[in-house]
Amino acid sequence: MTDPQKHLLLVDDERPLREAIAERLGDHGFQVAQADSGETALERLAEFAFDIVVTDLRLPGIDGRQVLDAAIERYPDIIAIVITGFGTVKDAVEAIKQGAADFITKPFQFDALLHVLRSALEQRRLRSENAYLRSQLEERFRIDGIVGHSRAMRDLYQMLETVAATSSTVLITGETGTGKELAARAIHHASPRRAQRFLALNCSAIPETLLEAELFGHVRGAFTGAVGTRQGKLEQAHKGTLFLDEVGTMSPALQSKLLRVLQEREFERVGDSHPIRIDVRIIAATHSDLQQMVADGSFREDLFYRLNVIPIALPPLRERREDVPLLVRHFAEKLSRDVTPGRPPVTMSQEAMRCLMAYDWPGNVRQLENAVERALALSPGRSQIEVSDLPAEVQQAPDRPGDTREAFPEGGVDFEAHVREVELALITRALERTGGNKRQAAKLLNLKRTTLIEKLKRLERP
Ligand SMILES: Nc1ncnc2c1ncn2[C@@H]1O[C@H](COP(=O)(O)OP(=O)(O)OP(=O)(O)O)[C@@H](O)[C@H]1O
Ligand SMILES: [Mg+2]
């Protein structure tokens, strides 16, 4: 093989055969990972964007057809080859219908497999993209514009649906860019309140006095500049949903006023003493740790419990890397539709996809969206995005599967050496992130600073 090395996942439960093929494929320049069962294959596919999957159709438990399904569903561009038993042409035909590129019948000569692989690679290189199939696949895993089919996201959909049926207060937490506002909107749109308004108020964006007036409204002359009487967001959202973003930044005075709203569903406009009753569902969001703020005394404990009736925590993207391919496709399609209408669908090379899946995304989905937008802008007229179109910090592809989660090598491991390697890698990355600041790095690693220093000393010794 010339070009960059192709990553191939070989799935077969017959160990001697699998190992022999893997070795010879390795000799021909393929980077081979092995799976001895359908279950293992699905795990490998979830964590790494292989170029090629070669799977035996007949496997105990999860069979080759399910592996094929999972592979194609996640990576429409993957090349799938199935191995069928002698005299089972029907299975082979089914597999091709299902999206396999080709099949090979057992027993086979290694050269025959090599030939099948090479022609599939060549075909793939020449074939244009099947955008229709892709958009259909994507549709299946989307609720109200929320994309993702990782365990965490599927749990989230379930949660959103359950919560939507109630009027309970919800507290959404998550790092920046994890989709807190998107989730809040999804709850509203799935709720019986959907025909009423969804209003959003960002508590950190405006000064305190204005925020109070925004929230509760005011009467004429309530403060300098209050020339007329105005309804606040709470009143405007009557029967609907009010999204209070960054509640953690509210002043103590406003916190107690909000508490009263939550307890009594009642408030007064600024400068007025006439109580107003409302029926508003509150969804609050924060990227800060409110529990910690309660402990520090900067957030009211009683308000925290009133808000935290139903907590929803959005996981950072690096904890659900398997959602990256779907999100990338979603953004590539959305952006080429909105920004450059008429541009044919754009795909990622699998190598670029590996980079995207390996990166840690501190800015989460928003940062990924920006990276896709940038890549589209840098690749006008091309139908494929390459590694060089990605932001510099994203360009480091893992050079083998299991970089994100270690696979267990066939021949066993040197435990001590391995653990040392993992420790060193984690500490190095934490230090890189904090510009060498050990105290902050220790915090990121959930270690005492002294423990980190001790470990560093030990690791630096040969
Ligand atoms: N699961 C997802 N599927 C599709 N798009 C998503 C998803 N999560 C986030 N996004 C998109 O990412 C961007 C950021 O999402 P959102 O504004 O909801 O994040 P946030 O958690 O409120 O961030 P911040 O804390 O910075 O306000 C939006 O453009 C949103 O549409
Ligand atoms: Mg937000």
DSSP class of residue 270 equals B
Residue 283 pLDDT grade (very low, low, confident, very high; cuts 50, 70, 90): very high
- Final residue of a structural domain among 375, 391, 407: 391
List C-alpha distances in Å: 128 to 51, 125, 158.
Answer: 16, 8, 37
Residue 397 domain-assigned (yes or no) = no
How far, in Å, CA of 36 to CA of 84, rounded? 16
pLDDT for 2 = 44
Q: Supply the residue whose CA is at minimum distance from atom 26 of ligand 1.
A: 176
Q: Which residue's CA is minimally distant from atom 30 of ligand 1?
A: 179
Q: Which atom of ligand 1 has the smallest separation from the CA of 174?
A: 21
Ligand 1 lining (C-beta closer than 6 Å): 145-148, 174, 176-182, 287, 327, 330, 365-366, 369
Question: Are 163 and 281 part of one and the same domain?
Answer: yes
The closest residue, in CA terms, to atom 23 on ligand 1 is 177
Question: For atom 25 of ligand 1, which residue has the closest CA?
Answer: 176
Taking the centre of ligand 1 as the mean of its atom positions, its distance from the CA of residue 372, in whole angstroms, is 14
On whether residue 207 sits in a domain, the answer given is yes
What is the value of pTM for the model shown? 0.67
Whether the CB-CB separation of 184 and 172 falls below 8 Å is answered with yes
Dist CA 216 CA 235 (whole Å): 7
| Pocket-testing residue among 146, 155, 182, 287, ligand 1, by greatest number of atoms within 8 A of Cβ | 182
Q: Alpha carbon 250 to chain centroid distance?
A: 29
Closest atom of ligand 1 to 175 CA is 25
Q: What's the CA-to-centroid distance between 148 and ligand 2, angstroms?
A: 18
CA of 92 to the centre of ligand 1 (A): 42
State the total domains in the chain.
4
- Tell me, in angstroms, the distance from the centre of ligand 2 to residue 348's CA: 28
How far is CA 81 from each of CA 66, 70, 252, 351, 413, rounded to the nearest angstrom?
13, 13, 63, 19, 30
What integer pLDDT is reported at residue 126 of this predicted model?
Answer: 58
| Cα 268 → chain centroid | 42
Instruction: Report DSSP letters for 11-56, one per residue.
Output: E-S-HHHHHHHHHHHHHTTEEEEEESSHHHHHHHHHH---SEEEEE
Nearest CA to ligand 1 atom 15: 179
Determine the distance separating the centroid of ligand 1 and the alpha carbon of 445, expressed in angstroms: 26
Of 320, 390, 331, 385, nearest to 355 by C-alpha is 390
Same domain flag for 333 and 292: no
Residue nearest atom 16 in ligand 1 by C-alpha distance: 179
Do 56 and 155 fall within a single domain? no
For residue 372, how many C-alpha atoms fall within 13 Å in the half-sphere facing its CB? 29
Are both 62 and 109 inside the same structural domain? yes
Spatial CB neighbours of 462, under 8 Å, sequence gap ≥ 6: none
What's the gap in Å between 177 CA and the centre of ligand 2? 7
- 241 within some domain: yes
Q: In this predicted model, what pLDDT tens digit does every residue of 119-159 receive, in sequence order? A: 888 777 655 344 444 444 444 445 568 998 888 998 898 88
Residue 410 lies in a domain: no
**Non-local CB neighbours of 116 within 8 Å, separated by 6+ positions:** 81, 102, 103, 104
In 3D, which of 47, 67, 38, 62 has the Cα closest to residue 7?
47
Where among 266, 296, 317 does a domain terminate?
317
Asked if residue 225 and residue 195 are part of one domain, the reply reads yes
- Which residues are registered as beta bridge partners of 284? 171, 244
By most ligand atoms within 8 Å of CB, the mutation choice from 143, 365, 368, 370 for ligand 1 is 365
Q: Is residue 145 part of a domain?
A: no
- 99/254 Cα distance (integer angstroms): 58
* Same domain assignment for residues 326 and 310: no
At 65, which CATH number? 3.40.50.2300
Structure confidence by residue, pLDDT tens digits, 58-99: 999 999 999 999 999 888 789 999 998 877 778 888 888 888
Range of the domain at 423: 415-460
CATH number at residue 261: 3.40.50.300
**Terminal CA-CA length for the chain:** 38
Question: In the structure encoding, which two tokens stand for residue 148, read together?
Answer: 């993702």
Judged by DSSP in three states, 83 sits in strand
Mutate to test the pocket of ligand 1, among 146, 366, 368, 372 (most ligand atoms within 8 A of CB): 366
Q: Are residues 353 and 366 in the same domain?
A: yes
Domain boundary among 261, 284, 317: 317
What tens digit of pLDDT does each residue of 193-223 get?
988 999 999 999 888 888 999 999 999 888 8
Cα 364 to ligand 1 centre (Å): 8
Do residue 269 and residue 375 come from a single domain?
Answer: no
**289-342 confidence digits (pLDDT tens):** 999 999 999 999 999 999 998 899 999 999 999 899 999 988 988 888 877 777
- The reply to whether 264 falls in a domain is yes
Q: Is the same domain home to 312 and 210?
A: yes
- Under 8 Å between Cβ of 323 and 157: no
Q: Map residue 240 onto helix, strand or coil.
A: coil
Give the domain CATH number at 332.
Answer: 1.10.8.60
Mark whether 70 and 203 lie in a shared domain. Answer: no
User: Looking at the structure, do residues 171 and 224 belong to the same domain, yes or no?
Assistant: yes
Q: What is the CA angle 177-180-183, rounded to 5?
A: 130
241 pLDDT tier (thresholds 50, 70, 90) = very high
Query: Is 221 a member of any domain?
Result: yes
Task: Give domain status of residue 114, yes or no.
Answer: yes
Residue whose entry in the numeric block shows the structure tokens 């074939």: 127
Q: Are residues 337 and 301 in the same domain?
A: no
Q: Averaged over 376-387, what is the pLDDT?
A: 88
Task: Compute the distance from residue 366 Cα to the ligand 1 centre, in Å.
Answer: 6
User: How many whole angstroms separate alpha carbon 4 and alpha carbon 94?
Assistant: 31
Whichever domain contains 450, its CATH number is 1.10.10
Whether the pLDDT of residue 395 is over 60: the answer is yes
Q: What residues form DSSP beta bridges with 281?
A: 241
- Among all ligands shown, which has an atom nearest to the Cα of 149? 1
Both tokens of 146, joined, read 């929320």
- For residue 257, pLDDT over 50 is answered with yes
